Amino acid sequence: MLTFADFTNKIISDLNKRFSEAILEGNYILVKSGPASMSIPISSMYREYQEVKDYKKTLKLYVGIINDILNQYKFKIDYKSVYPFLKSRDFGKGENDIQFYREQAFTDIDVLYVSDMGETFRFILQTDDVDFDKMKKAAWENLNKMANPLVKLDKTLDVFCLKYSTDYNSTLLLSTALQNQIHKKIGKDYLFAIPSSTTLIVARYRPEYIKIIESLIMIDKDPSKVSGKVYRCKNGIFDIVDEGY
């Protein structure tokens, strides 16, 4: 039985033999084939391997899944399952620059869009035959249907996180429902940080809270990193907190 680390290294190596590129991006394996790409959670792949106890069967299964998704003649978007997704501005850039459809959200963070296929994400590309205006409208409508309450990390501090862990926690910051929660519980002058896709930290603006948020960023265990910066929002204007603050 392969360990999680050995399984991860082996399946990435084998996927690289069959597709343009397969790389580890946080908790996901990002697989590219031509202009298309998709992400698969490595934990789901390893869980399947543990159940069938056969590496070759697991590899064959996921190669089939990846081919079914990436090798479609034309990508057909399901507007009921498309969502905005916050990622680092560096995500997907470099030697093999992937043409994700992206827009700037904050100084070092972009909004990408994904088609949520359950166990996998398929990132929307600039080359997809998609009505992008319709796609974006549907994505934000879908996000605004999500509910996740803000809860205090400590009774003595006005520092909050989201009660439930989801892949969309960071993006929920931009939802109407969460903004209403923030304004009600904290106000319109607040600090926030998005260290990873699953982690959002929000606090009332107080200079002494900046160090606390920086410490929380440092201990965040999700490897799908987004930003190591602390931001301040004041009356709808977002800025990175100066290092000297």
Tens of pLDDT, residues 100-150 = 999 999 999 999 999 998 778 889 988 888 899 999 999 999 999 999 999
Choose among 95, 173, 92: nearest CA to 126: 92
Give percent above pLDDT 90 in the chain.
Answer: 73
Q: Which residue has the tokens 């202009």?
A: 35
pLDDT of residue 72: 62
Which whole-number Å values give the CA distances from 172 to 37, 130, 186, 245, in the listed order?
A: 24, 24, 16, 26
Mean pLDDT of the chain: 91
pLDDT digits (tens, 9 = 90+) for 173-204: 999 999 999 999 999 999 999 999 999 999 99
Closest to 195 (Cα-Cα) out of 160, 163, 230: 230
> Which pLDDT band holds residue 73 (cuts at 50, 70, 90)?
very low
| Strand partners of residue 32 | 21, 37
Which residue in 87, 103, 172, 170 sits closest to 136, CA to CA?
A: 103
CA-based nearest residue to 143, from 107, 108, 105: 105
Burial of 224 (0-12, 13-18, 19+ CB in 10 A): buried
Over the stretch 147-157, which tens digit does the pLDDT of each residue have?
A: 999 999 999 99
Per-residue pLDDT tens for 34-66?
667 889 999 999 999 999 999 999 999 999 998
Neighbours of 211 (CB within 10 A): 11
